[in-house]
Amino acid sequence: MKITKRQLRRIIKEEKQKLLKETVADMIEYEELIGKYATQISNNFGEDMMMLYDEEPEAFAVPNPSGSGMSQVPKDVWQQQVVYAQQELDSGIVDAISRVIEQVEMQLHDGQYLDER
């Protein structure tokens, strides 16, 4: 069976698209590694934010709803906010790293790192 140049180009193009869709960021080892470090960073962030509250609780004062002065945010309310921030930070780190890995991998497949000295 003979293959025309057009068919060969189409086959190569299809295979390249399949390869690009199966990035290394989809591999379980990378997903686990990215998740592990994202969690570690967000946990460190959370600990630092709680320590900051403990060191300077007055820095977390907000205007009273009545408009008369300031009131300190209770520690449990601050902790809840920190937990939400940690969750957002964690998922943001995972998304950003995965996106960069995919981008670099695609550039590598396209020969953009070829050093023609």
Q: What are the residues whose beta carbons fall under 8 Å from the beta carbon of 46, sequence distance 6 or more? A: 82, 83, 85, 86
Give pairs for 29-37: CB < 8 Å, separation 24+: 30/98, 30/101, 34/93, 34/94, 34/97, 34/98, 35/94, 37/93
Q: Three-state DSSP class for 1?
A: coil
Q: What is the pLDDT of residues 80-103, one digit of tens each?
A: 999 999 999 999 999 999 999 888
The reported pLDDT for the residue numbered 54 is: 93
Return the bridge partners of 84, or none.
Answer: none
pLDDT-derived band at 23, boundaries 50, 70, 90: low
Q: What is the pLDDT of residues 53-83, one digit of tens each?
A: 999 988 888 888 887 888 888 899 999 999 9
